[in-house]
């Protein structure tokens, strides 16, 4: 398929005069930066994942529409800078071209960082995440809203794929720890109360590539993985990019805007392990990921996963898996 041709055709459905189209990249979808004749910039997403690694619960019309509804609500009802949607000339948020669902959102300026390196960044990100969760906790989903849930079913799915992942050379110990941790996570997630104000819509992929720094602002982008989940999961995943000494700063700034549960450290450690395991639902479908995923999970299972199984803390001590 000629993706540029699809992008060019999709843009004809919007009331803009296109000047340039620049390919940014492809992962969960294909992204183009679009500049119009007035120098306004947009982000055009062709919702077709690399290697078809995402299933329809993420990419169906209803799922995409729901994603845009939530992000648009964040844009309208908070002071967060997020990529809000532009409707086509039919008044619809999604344009279908050659069987591909296309969306046009605002383009956000900013820079990525490889990891969280300063206390100021940690505090600003903690506040940003808290604002997302505060909004989520009071937001009522529209009729027909459809986004996946980060519950025990995601872990069950991973466990079902591990033995079939023949292209991934996990060693015997790593596989054993993954399965033991997965079964413990299923029990843990099933035991959590979803009605205590700590469950709702979350970004679910707040890693450094999805966070832009612009002047003093922290801007979350790429809401393609958003869904229903426990709020602490967003912080837990961020900690894969956060040095141990800066993690408390995230919690402190977060708690000034949105409450933390009393046992938030232990819970965050469990959600850290859960988020890493859940990533395998996507990674095991990408053949080239077999070059680095086994090594990464060897390290994870040697430290964080084993600590989780032994009920030992790891959030503020020891050596992170990336070292």
pLDDT score recorded for residue 59: 84
* Domain 3-106 CATH superfamily: Phosphorylase Kinase; domain 1 (3.30.200.20)
**Confidence at 1, pLDDT banded by 50, 70, 90:** low
The answer to pTM > 0.75 is yes
pLDDT score recorded for residue 84: 97
Name the burial class of residue 142, with classes exposed (0-12), middle (13-18) and buried (19+) by CB atoms within 10 angstroms of its CB: exposed
Domain residue spans in the chain? Answer: 3-106, 119-309
pLDDT tens-digit map of 243-302: 999 999 999 999 999 999 989 999 999 999 999 999 999 899 888 999 999 999 999 999
Q: List Cα–Cα distances, 268 to 188, 250, 254, 273, in angstroms.
A: 12, 12, 13, 9
Distance of CA 269 to the CA centre of its chain: 18
Does 49 have pLDDT greater than 90?
no
210 Cβ contact partners less than 8 Å away, ≥ 6 residues apart: 203, 220, 221, 222
Long-range interactions of 178-181: CB distance < 8 A, separation 24+: 178/277, 178/297, 178/301, 178/305, 180/309, 181/273, 181/277, 181/301, 181/305, 181/308, 181/309
What 8-state DSSP symbol labels residue 21? E
pLDDT score recorded for residue 93: 96
The share of the chain scoring above pLDDT 90, in percent, equals 87
Does 75 have pLDDT greater than 80?
yes
47-73: average pLDDT? 84
What 8-state DSSP symbol labels residue 111? B
Does 101 have pLDDT greater than 60?
yes
The share of the chain scoring above pLDDT 70, in percent, equals 97
Q: Return the structure tokens found at 183.
A: 């079964």
pLDDT tens-digit map of 5-16: 999 999 999 999
pLDDT tens-digit map of 159-216: 999 988 888 999 999 999 999 999 999 999 999 999 889 999 999 999 999 999 999 8
pLDDT tens-digit map of 248-262: 999 999 999 999 998
Q: How many CB atoms lie within 10 A of CB 223?
A: 23
- What is the SS3 assignment for 188? helix
pLDDT score recorded for residue 36: 97
Answer with the residue of higher pLDDT: 19 or 1.
19
If you write DSSP's letter for every residue of 52-108 in order, what string do you get?
G-S-HHHHSHHHHHHHHHHHHHHHHHSS-----EE--TTS-S-EEETTEEEEEEE--
Are the folds of 3-106 and 119-309 the same? no
Classify domain 119-309 at the CATH topology level. Aminoglycoside 3'-phosphotransferase; Chain: A, domain 2 (3.90.1200)
- Residue in 209, 226, 220, 223 with CA at minimum distance from that of residue 150: 226
Does 304 have pLDDT greater than 60?
yes
């Amino acid at each position: 398929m000629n993706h540029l041709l699809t992008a060019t055709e999709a843009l004809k459905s919007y009331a803009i005069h296109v000047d340039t189209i620049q390919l940014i990249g492809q992962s969960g979808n294909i992204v183009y930066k679009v500049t119009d004749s007035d120098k306004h910039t947009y982000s055009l997403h062709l919702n077709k994942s690399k290697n078809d690694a995402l299933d329809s619960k993420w990419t169906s019309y209803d799922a995409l529409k729901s994603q845009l509804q939530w992000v648009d609500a964040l844009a309208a009802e908070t002071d967060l800078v997020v990529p809000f949607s532009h409707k086509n000339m039919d008044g619809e948020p999604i344009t279908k071209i050659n069987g591909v669902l296309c969306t046009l959102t605002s383009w956000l300026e900013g820079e990525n960082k490889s990891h969280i390196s300063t206390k100021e960044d940690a505090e600003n990100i903690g506040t940003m995440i808290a604002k997302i969760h505060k909004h989520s906790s009071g937001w009522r989903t529209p009729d027909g809203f459809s986004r996946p849930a980060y519950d025990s079913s995601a872990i069950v799915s991973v466990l079902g794929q591990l033995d079939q992942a023949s292209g991934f050379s996990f060693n015997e110990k790593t596989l054993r720890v993954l399965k033991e941790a997965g079964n413990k996570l299923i029990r843990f997630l099933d035991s959590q109360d979803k009605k205590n104000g700590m469950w709702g819509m979350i970004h679910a992929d707040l890693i450094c590539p999805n966070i832009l720094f612009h002047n003093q602002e922290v801007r979350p982008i790429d809401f393609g993985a958003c869904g229903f989940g426990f709020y602490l999961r967003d912080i837990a995943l961020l900690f894969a990019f956060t040095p141990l000494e800066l993690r408390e700063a995230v919690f402190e700034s977060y708690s000034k805007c949105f409450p933390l549960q009393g046992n938030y450290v232990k819970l965050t450690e469990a959600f850290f392990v859960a988020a890493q395991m859940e990533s395998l639902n996507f990674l095991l479908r990408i053949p080239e990921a077999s070059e680095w995923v086994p090594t990464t999970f060897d390290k994870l299972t040697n430290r964080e996963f084993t600590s989780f199984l032994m009920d030992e803390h790891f959030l503020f001590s020891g050596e992170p898996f990336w070292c």
